[in-house]
Amino acid sequence: MSNFIPSRELPKQQPQSQTGAQGSDPESNRGFFSDDERGKVLFGMTSFLTSESLVFAAFFVAYSALRFSSTNFLPAGVSLPNFDTSTIIDTVVLLSSSFVIFLAERALARRKLNLFRLLWLTTSAMGAFFLSGEVQDWLKETLKLSTGEIGGPFFIITGFHAMHVTVGILLQTIMLIRSFIPHNYDKGHYGVTCVSLFWHFVDGIWLIVFTLFYLWR
Amino acid sequence: MTADNTIQSTDTKRGEDSQSGYRENWWQYFTFNKDHKVIAIQYLVTSFTFFLIGGLFAMIIRGELVTPPSDLVDRQLYNGLFTMHGTVMIFLWIIPSLVGLSNFLIPLMIGAKDIAFPFLNALAFWMFPPAGILLMASFFLPSGTAQAGWWSYPPLSTQNPSDPVLNGQLFWCLSIVLLGVSSIMGAVNFVTTIVRLRAPGMTFFRMPIFVWSVLSAQLLQLFFLPSLTGGVLLLLCDLSLGTNFFEPFRGGDPVLYQHMFWFYSHPTVYVWALPVFGIIAEILPAFSRNPLFGYKSVAVATIGIAVISATVWAHHMFTSGTPMWMRILFMFTSVLIAVPTGVKEFSWTATVWRGKLHLDTPFLFALGSAAMFLFAGVTGVMLGAMPFDLHVHNTHFVVGHFHYVVYNTITVGIFGAIYFWFPKMSGRMYNEGWGKLHFLLTFIGANLTFFPMMPLGLQGMVRRIASYDPQYQWWNVIASFGGFLLGVSILPFIANIIYSWAFGYKVSDNPWHATGLEWTTTSPPPKENFKEVPTVTLAPYSYGRPQYSTVDSTDEGAVRRHHR
Ligand SMILES: [Cu+2]
């Protein structure tokens, strides 16, 4: 079917698929992605993560701006968030889980289903370990939401990040359950790839959060 | 296959296809349906309902302003009404109605079966009515709705008269965050669809300008909406959790909120305006039988507007203690936008220039929108000039300029789009006479309402006040009269659309003899849009070439013929 009814110049080259018989000729789709389900999903996920990272960016900018300009950033007698070995352990566990999920994905690509499940579950467990450490950090913390310009940003930003970790674990659980459905991966595993991307994103964000609250003393 | 027999062949195949379409299955509009065409109608009808509610608020405001003293509604309600009017019109009418149109048109225009992620699309829609209802519900709270204007600047918005949780401002924040999440889903969907789902042969420079516009607008949503969502989330924390982000009394920075707010809320004006520019670029060529003038420059200008619009936000903050270097920088970038926007105005003018004009309703609305945008744009450049803005800041001049953008350009353009694609959506034709009446009332009413705000602003009448100095009454009475006329102007539209959806006569698949891909399928389109995936061979807007044109050179009344 032709369509954009003809115009200023005739086509230099007749399209190969004038009758619209797709699929029979692989060349007819060259340069176009209509049937590339994996590419579509990954593109959508990347767009979403770009947008989501900008919400974090908005928070980071707000925090940094307040830190530079506020007269009441750190009220007298208050110290910056508590930084001890448990924070470092949490950080190491979360960041290395990125590597574990990478191995899990590779295992799946090689169709080693059980190894995939094991590594996938390990990732979730490492995430859960991080979360519990985070909650303990909050409970130990002397800062409050209303403490100067440090309390609010600290709890809101780490809380927002922890929310993302939680969502990541939930998504991983769904993927784990789905891995038991027979023939689940016959058409590829881009759901797993997306969750993995999300997890890398959550880890990357933590690096910035860690820098802003623990390294920037 | 040539264009002529495409139309013929689909004409004969109509019947069952369109019968099983969308009119008979009215109940599907109330379900979680994943078809982009159904979601489009859901968006359009829901947002139009909110448009009526927002319009009602506007008319109460205009009623209050007929006389100088504050006498019609109490001041608290008045503050709530202008806050809700702005919020409803922007977040519940303009944005979702354009999302509705984009939903219907984008897959059809690029030859796709549906939007990239249909489930996400339906989910995004179903977050929209609850957000609207939440906003409306705040009228029933003991302390009423949010009252700090649609910007919700702290510290005014964090005054919190009654309760840290049950207050209108919190409802406002939650509603905006919900709509923000929904819009991000929509943006992911649209961008992915346009980049990944184009039919074979549909290269970027063969996309209709409407598709370019939606791509630019949705990229803006993707990159800038996070700033507003983040800012409003922090405002919500200040309001209800006791944090101090924006509280000046506790060391916070209210200007920071203004930056976060306008960093999105200036670009968002282009999220609304660009698709409307796209609509104009679709309609003008079809009714003047001329190709769109300078297609490539217009496409590039669309992207250009989107890029520059990201760098101008602080022109809303010239009076917020902004340092002089920033004021000058932002003045420069703001005025720079006039260049790509001017490219569009010239393109429209050149398109209709010496064309064979068919003055049908969609064309009247598109031309009216383009013409009134000139006025909106010129007053916009005036406001971008910082020395001038310092004098008229927060006056009715700004309100007048803004309404020339949002009503006279954008809303008028949306009406044009609804008339233009109504045959495609319903398979039926609207009533031309009533459509023209709608246009006439709209055009007169809109100018009567919003023009008087310019002199009022120049004379110093401040915005958002319920009582004013008697010297301003004359222009206010005219504006109020125009406002009520605008209220009346909607009636023929509603009657026309409802009647025509049910009883309008059936039309061929391409009643306007337009060239877009969407006109090559049946009206309404079948479930997967096209019987077979179309292969695109040529650029859009190939009007006025006699050897290819479907009509016109031989039959002058061809477009009109279908109005019998
Ligand atoms: Cu602006």
Q: DSSP assignment of B527-549, as one string?
A: TTSSSS--EE-S-S--TT-TTT-
Domain ranges in chain A are: 37-72+83-215
**Residue at token pair 């922007």:** B90
Q: What backbone phi and psi angles, to 5 degrees, belong to A3?
A: -155, -145
Least confident of A27-36, B132-141, B157-166, B460-469: A27-36
CA distances from residue B242 to A109, A134, A147, A162, B235 in whole angstroms, order as listed: 49, 21, 9, 20, 10
Q: SS in 3 state form for A12-51?
A: CCCCCCCCCCCCCCHHHHCCCCCCCHHHHHHHHHHHHHHH
Bond prior to B323 in cis (omega within 30° of 0) = no
For residues B2-28, give the mean pLDDT.
47
Q: Which of residues 250-289 of B touch A (CB under 8 A)?
A: 250-253, 256, 260
Residue A126 has pLDDT above 80, yes or no: yes
Model pLDDT, residue A32: 57
Interchain contact B521–A (C-beta under 8 A): no
- State the DSSP code for A184: T
| Band (B437; pLDDT cuts 50, 70, 90) | very high
| CA–CA min distance A5, chain B (Å) | 6
Domain boundaries, chain B: 2-552
- A/B interface, count of CB pairs below 8 Å: 201
Asked if B159 and B235 count as a contact pair (C-beta separation under 8 A), the reply is no
Provide the 8-state DSSP code for B89: I
Q: What is the pLDDT of residues B55-83, one digit of tens each?
A: 999 999 999 999 999 999 999 999 999 99
Determine phi and psi for B462, rounding to 5 degrees.
-75, 150
- Closest chain A residue by Cα to residue B107: A34
pLDDT for the residue B546: 47
Q: Cα separation of B452 and B474, whole Å?
A: 9
Tell me: the pLDDT tens digits for A2-22? 333 333 232 333 222 222 333
Q: How far is B504 from chain A (nearest CA, A)?
A: 28
Instruction: Give the gap in angstroms from C-alpha A156 to the nearest C-alpha of chain B.
Output: 8
| Stretch 126-185 of chain B: residues touching chain A, C-beta under 8 Å | 184
Which of A15-24, B48-57, B296-305 is predicted with the least confidence, judged by mean pLDDT? A15-24
Return the sign of the alpha-carbon dihedral for residues A175, A177, A180, A183.
Answer: negative
CB contacts, 8 Å: A54 with chain B = 223-224, 226-227, 230
> Dihedral (C-alpha) B445, B364, B376, B444: value to the nearest 10 degrees?
-20
Closest to B230 measured CA to CA, from A160, A56, A166? A56
DSSP string, B364-430: HHHHHHHHHHHHHHHHHHHHHSHHHHHHHTTBHHHHHHHHIIIIIIIIHHHHHHHHHHHHHHHSBPP
Architecture label for domain B2-552: Up-down Bundle (1.20)
Q: What's the pLDDT at B190? A: 97
φ, ψ for residue B343, nearest 5 deg = -55, -40
Q: Which neighbouring-strand residues pair with B537?
A: none
| Inter-axis angle of helices B361-384 and B412-426, nearest 10 | 150
Average pLDDT over residues B332-352: 94
Higher pLDDT, residue B499 or B24: B499
* SS3 readout for chain A: CEECCCCCCCCCCCCCCCCCCCCCCHHHHCCCCCCCHHHHHHHHHHHHHHHHHHHHHHHHHHHHHHHHHCCCCCCCCCCCCCCCHHHHHHHHHHHHHHHHHHHHHHHHHCCCHHHHHHHHHHHHHHHHHHHHHHHHHHHHCCCCCCCCCCHHHHHHHHHHHHHHHHHHHHHHHHHHHHCCCCCCCCCCCHHHHHHHHHHHHHHHHHHHHHHHHHHCC
- What is the reported pLDDT for B552? 37
User: Which position has the higher pLDDT, B9 or B545?
Assistant: B545
Work out the average pLDDT over B424-435.
Answer: 94
Least-confidence region, from B21-35, B228-242, B528-542:
B21-35
Instruction: Pull the structure tokens for residue B210.
Output: 């409407």
B chain contacts of residue A55, beta-carbon cutoff 8 Å: 226, 229-230, 233
- Min mean pLDDT across A113-117, B196-200, B399-403 is at B196-200
Averaged pLDDT, B371-389: 95
* Nearest CA among B176, B163, B171, B164 for reference residue B145: B171
Q: Would you identify the CATH topology of the domain A37-72+83-215?
A: Four Helix Bundle (Hemerythrin (Met), subunit A) (1.20.120)
A152-176 pLDDT tens trace: 999 999 999 999 999 999 999 999 9
| pLDDT of A82 strictly over 90 | no
Nearest residue to A90 via CA among A209, A174, A217: A209
- Determine, for residues B196 and A151 on separate chains, whether the beta-carbon distance falls below 8 Å: no
Q: What is the pLDDT of residue B562?
A: 42
- pLDDT, position B201: 86
Q: Kindly state the average pLDDT of the residues B521-544.
A: 85
Q: Hey, is the C-beta of B292 within 8 angstroms of any chain A C-beta?
A: no
Mean pLDDT of chain B: 89
Place of tokens 């919700």: B152
**pLDDT of res. B16:** 40
B407 Cβ neighbours under 8 A, 6+ residues apart: B446, B449, B450, B486
Average model confidence (pLDDT) for chain A? Answer: 84
Query: So what's the pLDDT on residue B551?
Result: 37
CA distance A91 to A207: 8
The answer, yes or no, to whether residue B409 has pLDDT greater than 70, is yes
Q: Which residues from chain B sit within 8 angstroms of residue A11, using beta carbons?
A: 537-538
Amino acid A11 reads: P
Cβ–Cβ below 8 Å for A44 and B192: yes
For ligand 1, the distance from its centroid to the CA atom of residue B312, given in whole angstroms, is 7
Whether B257 shows a pLDDT value over 50: the answer reads yes
**How far are the Cα atoms of B307, B324, B334, B335 from residue B329, in angstroms, in the given order?**
16, 9, 9, 10
Q: How confident is the model at residue B17 (pLDDT cuts 50, 70, 90)?
A: very low
**B265 CA to centre of ligand 1 in angstroms:** 7
Question: On the CB side of B138, how many CA atoms lie within 13 Å of its CA?
Answer: 29
Q: What is the mean pLDDT of residues B426-450?
A: 96
Instruction: Say how far apart CA B475 and CA B226 lie, in whole Å.
Output: 40
Tell me, in angstroms, the distance from the centre of ligand 1 to residue B314's CA. 8
**pLDDT 10s digits, A92-124:** 999 999 999 999 999 999 999 999 999 999 999
State the pLDDT at residue B142.
Answer: 86
Query: Tokens 């007698």 appear where?
Result: A77
* The pair of three-digit structure tokens given for residue B323, joined into one six-digit string: 């340092």
Q: Give B323: exposed, middle or buried? Use CB within 10 Å, 0-12, 13-18, 19+.
A: exposed
% of chain B exceeding 90 in pLDDT = 78
Task: Count Cβ atoms within 10 A of the Cβ of residue B557 and give its class: 0-12 exposed, 13-18 middle, 19 or more buried.
Answer: exposed
Please tell me what DSSP assigns to residue B156.
Answer: G
Q: How far apart are CA B194 and CA B197, in angstroms?
A: 6
Read off the pLDDT of each residue in B372-387 and give the average, rounded to a whole number: 95
Given an 8 Å threshold on Cβ–Cβ distance, is A34 in contact with B198? yes
Task: Name every chain B residue with its beta carbon within 8 A of the beta carbon of A29.
Answer: 200
Q: Which of A24-28, A29-33, B44-48, B264-268 has the lowest mean pLDDT?
A: A24-28
Q: Nearest CA to B364 among B417, B425, B401, B295? A: B417
Residue B428's DSSP bridge partners are: B506
Measure B274 CA to ligand 1 centroid, in angstroms: 14
Q: Given this model, what pLDDT does residue A146 score?
A: 86
- The pLDDT of residue A153 is 93
Q: Out of B520, B542, B545, name the one closest to residue A1 (CB).
A: B520
- Is B347 within 8 Å of chain A by CB? no
Q: Which residues pair with B395 in a beta bridge?
A: B462
d(CA A167, CA A205): 14
Which residue does chain B place closest to A71, by CA atoms? B251
Q: A71 falls in which pLDDT band (50, 70, 90)? A: confident
* Helix (H) or strand (E) segment spanning residue B181: helix B168-196
Please tell me which of the candidates B3, B201, B542 has its beta carbon nearest to residue A8.
Answer: B542
Bridge partners, residue B535, by sequence: A2
Q: Which of A43, A148, A156 sits opposite B237 (nearest CB)?
A: A156
- How many whole angstroms separate alpha carbon B563 and alpha carbon B358? 12
pLDDT confidence tier of residue A76, bands split at 50, 70 and 90 = confident
Question: In angstroms, rounded to a whole number, what is the distance separating the alpha carbons of residues B272 and B250?
Answer: 37
Place of tokens 């999440």: B181
Query: How far apart are the C-alpha atoms of A45 and B95, rounded to whole Å?
Result: 23
Query: Coil, strand, or helix at residue B71?
Result: coil
* Integer Cα distance of B145 and B100 in angstroms: 27
Backbone angles phi, psi at B495, to 5 degrees: -60, -45
pLDDT value at residue B217: 97
Angle at A62 between CA B262 and CA B244, to 5 degrees: 105
Res. B443: pLDDT tops 50: yes
The answer to whether the CB atoms of B515 and A72 lie below 8 A apart is no
CA–CA separation, B440 and B434 (whole Å) = 10
B25–A contact, CB cutoff 8 A: no
Q: How confident is the model at residue B545 (pLDDT cuts 50, 70, 90)?
A: low
Helix (H), strand (E) at residue A58: helix A37-69
Nearest alpha-carbon partner for B28 in B11, B13, B40: B40
pTM: 0.90
Q: From the list A39, A51, A146, which residue is nearest B244 (CB)?
A: A146
Query: How far is the C-alpha of B368 from the C-alpha of B350, rounded, in Å?
Result: 16
